[in-house]
Amino acid sequence: MNSTEKHNWRGYLFILPLMLILGVFVIYSFILLVQGSFFKTDLLFNRSKFVGLQYYKIALQDPYFFKAIINTLVFAASSVFFGISLGFIFSVFLAFSIKGGNFFRTLFFVPTLLPNALIAAIFGGMLRYRFGALNDFLAVLRITPVHWLSDPAMAYISVLTISLFMIGIPMMYYQAELATLDKGMFESAQIDGAGFWRITTQIIFPTVIHSHKTIVMTLMLTTFRAFERVYLLTAGGPARSTEITGTYIYTFFAEGGGRNIGYVNAISTLTLILAFVMSGIILSAFNPKVVKAKRSNK
């Protein structure tokens, strides 16, 4: 055995505890989840009856599950959009030594440190139609109050907009990568006549591709787990208008008191598969070979 092989072998030993935990709590749970989706059973796994793919068929034909998936993807897309647009722009500005830079950094980052449930509770109070802070403010300006949470369309926009306050995480990634960039590159660009906008969009933006990848992946998957935010803000309503996969699964499980675990397992499995597929798409889109090929085609 040469030294490299020995080194690799010890490496496996180091990751063994994590792999054990992962094996027990993730892989085993996943197997149990998939297995359970083929059975009609309750929370106690009593009276199990094999039903094959029946629950998958029901789920795929269920317009409300479909709507929950679409909503999840739309909310994820908005989250990504805010993250890589505003998050990037603010990071670039903060990369300059502006007065109060640390204050703004903290201001943008603090919401990401708060529990989602707290954010939802704060916004829930602010957006209430009667005696909500935002409508009270609009009243001062003599603007008609808005049904932020009780009108389905406005509730949708409210849930979308709340992700704006989560740009602290993308900003953190961008700032970390911006700090590593070679300043000489910008000086050369300036000498060649490039202005601020051109440097930002054509040099910095393509250069921080690793941050883009991490941010898109993180924000996309975070939306799949944005349960508390949506549940506490709108409970998926009114009238299912803001239902995401997390609230759909939870409410189905809770309202049935664990009555039909097979269906819950099937919709959870489909959601997981969707999350895997989305991750795969993002990873392949940011694959260095693909990116390089795209650039050379241009």
Partner 1 sequence: MSLKKLWIVLLITVVAPFALFAAGGQEAAEEGGDVVISYHCWYPPEEILAPMIAEFEKLNPGIKVEVTKTEPDTHQQKVPVVLASKQKLDTMAVMNTDFVMQVEPYMADLEPLYSNAYGSDWEGKFQPSILTYSRGRTSGDLKMLPEGMNGSPVIYFNVEIFNELGLSIPETETDLMKTIATIKSKRPDLVPLAFRGKLPWLHTISAFGLYAQEEELWSFVRDDGKPYNSPEIVKMAQWWQSLYEKDIFAMDTLDIDNNSIGELFYGGNAAMMVHGAWMAGLLSEPYREKKNIGFEIGAFPYPAIKAGNTPTTAATPDMFFSVVNYSDHQEEAFKLMDFFIQGEGINLLAENFLIVPGKTDFVPNPELLTTDLARNSYKSIIDVLSNPQSALRQQDFLTTPFGKVLQNIALGGDVKESLDDFQKEIESGKFE
**Site of interaction with partner 1 (CB under 8 A):** 10, 13-14, 16-17, 20, 40, 42-46, 54-55, 58-59, 61-64, 124-125, 127-131, 147-152, 234-235, 237-240, 251-260, 263
What angle in degrees, to the nearest 10, is found between the helix axes of 209-224 and 168-178?
160
Q: In the structure encoding, which two tokens stand for residue 237, read together? A: 């309503």
Nearer of residues 24 and 185 to partner 1, judged by Cβ:
24
Nearer of residues 130 and 289 to partner 1, judged by Cβ:
130
Provide, rounded to whole angstroms, the least separation between the CB of residue 94 and partner 1.
36
Nearer of residues 130 and 295 to partner 1, judged by Cβ:
130
Provide, rounded to whole angstroms, the least separation between the CB of residue 255 and partner 1.
4
The total number of residues shown for the chain amounts to 298
Cα–Cα distance for residue pair 176/272, rounded to 1 Å: 30
Count CA atoms closer than 13 A to 205's CA, side-chain side.
15
Nearer of residues 127 and 204 to partner 1, judged by Cβ:
127
Q: In the structure encoding, which two tokens stand for residue 99, read together? A: 């007065």
Nearer of residues 136 and 187 to partner 1, judged by Cβ:
136
Q: In the structure encoding, which two tokens stand for residue 242, read together? A: 């803001």
Provide, rounded to whole angstroms, the least separation between the CB of residue 75 and partner 1.
19
Provide, rounded to whole angstroms, the least separation between the CB of residue 130 and partner 1.
5
Residue pair 65/267 in contact (Cβ under 8 Å)? The answer is: yes
Question: Omega before 288 cis (within 30°)?
Answer: no
Provide, rounded to whole angstroms, the least separation between the CB of residue 238 and partner 1.
5
Cα–Cα distance for residue pair 170/193, rounded to 1 Å: 30
